[in-house]
Structure 1
Amino acid sequence: KTMAGFETPYIPGWDCHGLPIEFKVMQDARDEEPAEIRRRCEEFARGWIDTQKASFKRLGVLGDWENPYLTLDPAYESDIIRTFAGMVEKGLVYQSQKPVQWSYGAKTALAEAEVEYQNKKSIAIFVKFEVPNAPNLPDNTSFAIWTTTPWTLPANLGIAVHERLTYVVGLFEKEGMPNQSIIIVRELLEEFQEKTGLTLIEELTEIKGAELEGLDAQHPFIDRKSKVILAPFVTTEAGTGAVHIAPGHGADDYSAGMQNGLAVLSPVDDDGRFSEEVGVDELIGLHVMEDNEANIGVLRILAAKGALLGKENYKHSYPHCWRSKTPIIFRAVEQFFIRIDDLREKALAEIDETTWLPAWGRNRIHGTVEARPDWCISRQRTWGVPLPIFFDKNGEVILDANVVRQIADMVEEEGTNVWFELSDAELAARLDLPEGSTKCRDTLDVWIDSGCSHVAVMDRHPELSRPADLYLEATDQHRGWFQSSLMLSVAVSDKAPYKSVLTHGFVVDKDGGKISKSAAKAKGKPTDAAHFYNKYGADIVRLWVSSVDWQTEVPFGEDLFKQIADPYRRLRNTFRIMLGNLDGFNPGEHSIPFADMPLLDRWILERLDSVISECKAAYENFEFRKVFNSINTFCSNDLSALYVDITKDRMYCDPIDSVRRRATQTAFAEIFLAISKLLAPVLAYTADEAWEHCAFTEGSVHAQDFPVAKHSSREATETVSELLKLRDQIQQKVEEQVQAKAFNKNNEAEVTVPTPENKDIEMLLRDRSFTTEFFIVADLKLGTDFAAKKTEYSMCPRCRRYEPLVTDVCQRCSEVVY
């Protein structure tokens, strides 16, 4: 964009807070106080900034590297807190006990973007819940539920059915068990029998789901009722048509529970173990995930109670913590949230006003925003921006925007460490809060850090505009940075922070597999860019980036770099040829006007104009590989294989100031300048190196504007296109005679071609100086058919062309030499 004439300052920056750094630091600082943990985290983060900065600069990334933004800087942190104050003022922040994605490995709630999915083997079970004294059901009837999380059964408070589904009350038998009356949705009767070994011997009655609402079932091993409720998410895809509801352990369960007045029970502690709240002594302390401790404990109790109807191993995709790699627990804890419903409609409207590249990005983020629950913003961690909230002496939340702004001012002066270093009483006194007030120990979700960049970076840099012209990141950021930025910007300004968003694919190995830094390190493979730019050069890395289709998964590997190196070497050689041919050329003195140039020179400049237009359009549309392909094709086919090959004779043998030679140098000069500029964003170092070696250029190529297509005429292009067809036919006929050993090389050939109907072409073919150069033959005559024979002319020892000799050299060489 800079070379397209725009002022495009780039402020590089680093997201410094978050779990990855704290997780690393905690390996050696587990017993330290929060202030010391934060000191070590900051030291770790700052230690990597210089390393990564050097890598970016080595890769040729232009930016204000002396003044980057850091999310750990007090100015940035204070802007995060001021953004939070704005949301408090609008009533968007609240506290609630509701299920969140909890990482017991990291001991914190997680954002959706911090979750990755892995295949997991679980125990799925069928459990019966007796329904005593139901007036509309046979005596001793039970519901059968199916669950893949047996450990959540102690938190069961309800059973959900679908109001429109038809349920069968059937009498079932199984060897070794008394006959039982069980409620199953009709569509799943057969599957239920296959998986449990129970056999339906009689349909006692059928009943609609709506008629089951309000019944009280008995919890299978806790003295507690389980209320039957209606829920639209109940399906006939798997299970029994009756869904076990634990409002403390799932978003759908919580929502259904709240609508039906159920309590929220979540008897699991921060470490993922059953707490005393579980209510069953033999379950207390069992881990709900590790080694299936809790599942096995629950199964043992169910079997003893006669409530276990069947079990099976079940493989499914399950969420895991991206950092600790442990399975996620959906667990209800007191957390702080942002009300997404208050922002959703405006956010969706702003999505529609934004340009998405590729276009499917719009549907992806639209779908995630449309379905997004309220945003859990509190984290039970130390390394981050503190959640600027207090509680009064009774434990009630103090949510006051003015207090939050005072905290922001304090942080801008002293940094966020002041929050952790001062006591509750000291902070309360400085903020004029009631005696007994205590600060929140949580930190803010790091997605708020990055999501505030539109405020903390753009608003603090007057040279930057808001909204930003472009946000770009990988495809996972539709639920990460793209979305957090959108939500926070809509919350504070009712506008999206960007005009357009570009999404690129993930880098994968040559077989399409995921590239894991840890796996690569274990195999002794390189894990950072330094290996590749040290081995191949930064421009090879940049050329690889520009040569791939960023809209899909991006293949990466040593073999690909080796493949890229070959066209790169050809491009370097093209630069060398052009610079060599420009020796002694001064554009101000020697340039030939386009109209006075020979046909071939006008043709190559018309072709150059096409390349300029193609490349500028490709850059504008982020189609970087089209830039590389267009220039590579032009340099390989038009320039090197044709133009350079044809004009080398005039460059070496014509008089130094001949019009033909100066015209070729004029063309080379235009081509050199244009290709250098067009390649500069891709081959940053090579283009600048070539620019520095040119006698008539100054400064850096990166300070130039892109070239402009100058020549609207395509007359030369059309003429040369016809001549090239003829050239192919001539070469075919000449090659036949070479194979027949009539002569050795094409420049020994005298060829005859049919007289063309086009009079302009005929006139060119009657010009021997043109035909011998363009077709690289000794002579060309017009006739009725194609023919080729050895010329009777002698070879000039200077130019090595077959010409009528004057003394010992040809006429042209005689004029030059004598």
Structure 2
Amino acid sequence: MQYDLPVECPVDSRGVFFEDTELLAGQFIFKANASVIEILENTNTLVKYEPLQHSYPHCWRHKAPVIFRATPQWFVSMQQNGLRDAVNREILKVDWIPDWGKKRIELMVGNRPDWCISRQRFWGVPMTLFVHKQTGELHPDTQALFIKVADKIEKNGIEAWFEADIEDFLGADAKDYDKTTDTLDVWFDSGVSHFAVLKQRDELSDVADLYLEGSDQHRGWFQSSLISSVAINGKAPYKQVLTHGFTVDKDGKKMSKSLGNVMSPQKVVNNLGADILRLWIAGSDYTGEMTVSDEILKRSADSYRRIRNTMRFILANTAGFNPKTHQLNEDKILDLDKWIMSKTANLQIQILQAYEHYNFHQVIQLILNFCSNDLGGFYLDVIKDRQYTTQENSIARRSAQTALNHILETMVRWLAPVLSFTAEEIWQSMPDEKNDSIFLQEWYQVLDASYSNKAIDTARAINPFIRKQMEQMRHDKIIGSSLDAEVDIYCDDNTYKLLEKLGDELRFVFITSYARIHPISKKNDACVEAGAGVFIKVTQSESEKCVRCWHHREDIGSNNEHSELCSRCVENVTGDGEERKYA
């Protein structure tokens, strides 16, 4: 084309040389190779013949070698009417997720040739064109003919075009025109979905909120949709484009039936359940390749159990709780419960932001950390004493249940987009009677994220050091449960003032029978460092054990009628019940 030479193709659609091809007429192209060598030998023009091994294009499905033929085609020009420049301008207006998608499609649009939209296939969406036999020009009434053909296809199906005679459309002009047999590029089919799907429905915008596909679609659907929409409407067909990687096996290899490494989603669902498969997908960073194996799915199942068991514990401990009659006002709620509700509210801000930006793996990570650390590793353990030892309708117990109910209402909504079946199951089991579905709800925006409590934060920071000491004591058979232990804390003035606010209830935070605080100057060699300006000493309690709450207390036996109970349990059993303010 550089030298304006004629473009000739001597091979027909069957891969056979045309009858007017000199010397090779009627031969199949690959079989003609031997004939070419023979001709060169017979004319004494063959310098050397030697087979070479080299790469060659093959059909991806049939693995057969392919050839490229120069044939007349239909194109969308990227230059006429400034289409390429217009497309590039629209690219800048789209939110590409991840952001490297923008650069990827910019390069592809910038370097691409004109778009060949015609294909020579036996089935597909037809190019309903009529071409003049002599001039090659389109029929002058092409626009009107498009509508006529479309009406016929809409009434009788796609075969109406292929079965119809040219006379059905052109009448007397039929003798001067050929009816095209080409079909449209399949990327053109999908690329005009913004027109065929969105534009045809009044309730929908013709600009989609999101296009979602694999990273190969920058070359395919994303690009064909963008080009066609800019050409037709002058704007991009989407506001956001999200690209995800491909699923690969444990060795990072592409899944293929021929390699035998395909993992069937249906098999995973049958064995583990749909929610565990959904959890693995959501928990994976889709911006790269997503690795899957039996071991990885097993870890997803473990994560699922952590979430499910947390929700089961909360449901179990809100049994008998009626939010309409039992829920406490904020002024009556204990500090620890306000603290965890504020943690929940703050976490929701992060989770909603992650959902907004499609960072699903971050959502799952935040939820799992919340279940493992703030809830399972701290708060839920601390409130067990209140739940099991205080009076049924006491403020201490109802305060915990109020917090649990708020957490339940919040978390079930977090889980719904990913663990859909589990979330619906939780929703129907919650304390307040639920008639509709979780999927008809909005985010739970009741909780206040502004509350803070430095005393509880400080105790929480010390708690892991105490746990570590008690684990060693368990290993050495010194104690059984944490309530068999007492803890003495030696700390600087600032920490002392903070922990002092919790009073005797500090022991409930640490889940020990006693928790005493001392100035740091009184620490001895038996103490262990537990952070900046803090030392701890954990010892086995010498006091008797209350048979009801299992705390070791010096006041056991002080009540003659209940000689095996501590005074706190006596008050909870026979009196008005103990009073709690903090934990």
Structure 1 and Structure 2 fold alike (TM over 0.5): yes
Contact 1:384-1:444 within 8 A present in 2 as well? yes
Amino acid at match of 1:636: S
1:519 to 258, 261, 275: 258
Please state whether the residue corresponding to 2:69 is helix, strand or coil: strand
The structural deviation recorded for 1:310 is: 7.5
User: 2:571 matched to 1:815?
Assistant: yes
The structural deviation recorded for 1:436 is: 5.1
The structural deviation recorded for 1:435 is: 4.3
- Mapped to 2, the partners of 1:651 and 1:447 lie a distance apart of 62
Structure possessing the higher relative contact order (Cα contacts under 8 Å, 6 or more residues apart): 1
1:782 to 517, 521, 540: 517
1:401 to 112, 130, 143: 143
- Counterpart position of 1:773: 508
Contact 1:490-1:496 within 8 A present in 2 as well? yes
1:348 to 82, 88, 110: 88
- Counterpart position of 2:75: 337
Name the CA shift for 1:475/1:439 in 2 (closer, same or farther; >3 Å).
same
Q: What pairs up with 1:315-714 in 2 under 5 angstroms?
A: 315-316=54-55, 318-342=56-80, 343-392=83-132, 394=134, 396-399=136-139, 400-429=142-171, 433-435=173-175, 437-516=177-256, 518-519=257-258, 523=260, 528-698=264-434, 699-708=436-445, 710-714=447-451
The structural deviation recorded for 1:749 is: 2.3
After superposition, give the CA deviation of every residue in 1:95-132 in whole Å (9 maximum; x if it has no partner).
Answer: xxxxxxxxxxxxxxxxxxxxxxxxxxxxxxxxxxxxxx
Name the CA shift for 1:301/1:660 in 2 (closer, same or farther; >3 Å).
farther
The answer to which structure has the higher strand fraction is: 1
- Mapped to 2, the partners of 1:671 and 1:481 lie a distance apart of 42
The structural deviation recorded for 1:503 is: 1.0
- Mapped to 2, the partners of 1:358 and 1:738 lie a distance apart of 49
Contact 1:392-1:434 within 8 A present in 2 as well? no
Name the CA shift for 1:738/1:319 in 2 (closer, same or farther; >3 Å).
same
Please state whether the residue corresponding to 1:356 is helix, strand or coil: strand
User: 2:539 matched to 1:799?
Assistant: no
Amino acid at match of 2:546: C
After superposition, give the CA deviation of every residue in 1:256-297 in whole Å (9 maximum; x if it has no partner).
Answer: x2x31201121222122333454223x751334xxxx44454
After superposition, give the CA deviation of every residue in 1:25-51 in whole Å (9 maximum; x if it has no partner).
Answer: xxxxxxxxxxxxxxxxxxxxxxxxxxx
- Counterpart position of 2:577: none
- Mapped to 2, the partners of 1:736 and 1:438 lie a distance apart of 90
- Counterpart position of 2:490: 754
- Mapped to 2, the partners of 1:564 and 1:577 lie a distance apart of 20
Name the CA shift for 1:296/1:547 in 2 (closer, same or farther; >3 Å).
farther
Contact 1:679-1:687 within 8 A present in 2 as well? yes
Amino acid at match of 2:568: R
After superposition, give the CA deviation of every residue in 1:343-362 in whole Å (9 maximum; x if it has no partner).
Answer: 21211221122221112212
- Counterpart position of 1:244: none
- Counterpart position of 1:87: none
Tell me which stretches of 4 or more aligned residues in structure 1 moved more than 6 Å.
none
Task: Using structure 2 for the length normalisation, give the TM-score.
Answer: 0.87
- Counterpart position of 2:5: 262
Amino acid at match of 2:138: I
- Mapped to 1, the partners of 2:254 and 2:513 lie a distance apart of 60
The structural deviation recorded for 1:331 is: 1.1
- Counterpart position of 1:209: none
- Counterpart position of 1:280: 23
Q: What RMSD in Å do the two structures reach over aligned CA positions? A: 2.5
Name the CA shift for 1:272/1:760 in 2 (closer, same or farther; >3 Å).
farther
Task: Using structure 1 for the length normalisation, give the TM-score.
Answer: 0.63
Please state whether the residue corresponding to 1:398 is helix, strand or coil: coil
Contact 1:691-1:697 within 8 A present in 2 as well? no
Name the CA shift for 1:426/1:589 in 2 (closer, same or farther; >3 Å).
same
Amino acid at match of 2:77: R
Contact 1:451-1:485 within 8 A present in 2 as well? yes
Name the CA shift for 1:438/1:263 in 2 (closer, same or farther; >3 Å).
closer
- Unpaired segments ≥5 residues, structure 2: 524-535, 575-583
- Mapped to 2, the partners of 1:561 and 1:788 lie a distance apart of 40
The structural deviation recorded for 1:734 is: 4.5
- Mapped to 2, the partners of 1:735 and 1:569 lie a distance apart of 24
- Unpaired segments ≥5 residues, structure 1: 1-256
Amino acid at match of 1:814: V
Please state whether the residue corresponding to 1:750 is helix, strand or coil: strand
Name the CA shift for 1:301/1:560 in 2 (closer, same or farther; >3 Å).
farther
The structural deviation recorded for 1:505 is: 0.8
The structural deviation recorded for 1:433 is: 4.2
Contact 2:167-2:174 within 8 A present in 1 as well? no
Name the CA shift for 1:393/1:727 in 2 (closer, same or farther; >3 Å).
closer
- Mapped to 2, the partners of 1:725 and 1:515 lie a distance apart of 46
- Mapped to 2, the partners of 1:299 and 1:697 lie a distance apart of 86
Contact 2:323-2:431 within 8 A present in 1 as well? no
- Mapped to 1, the partners of 2:508 and 2:20 lie a distance apart of 95
Contact 2:244-2:287 within 8 A present in 1 as well? yes
Name the CA shift for 1:420/1:739 in 2 (closer, same or farther; >3 Å).
closer
Name the CA shift for 1:681/1:328 in 2 (closer, same or farther; >3 Å).
same
- Mapped to 1, the partners of 2:270 and 2:473 lie a distance apart of 51
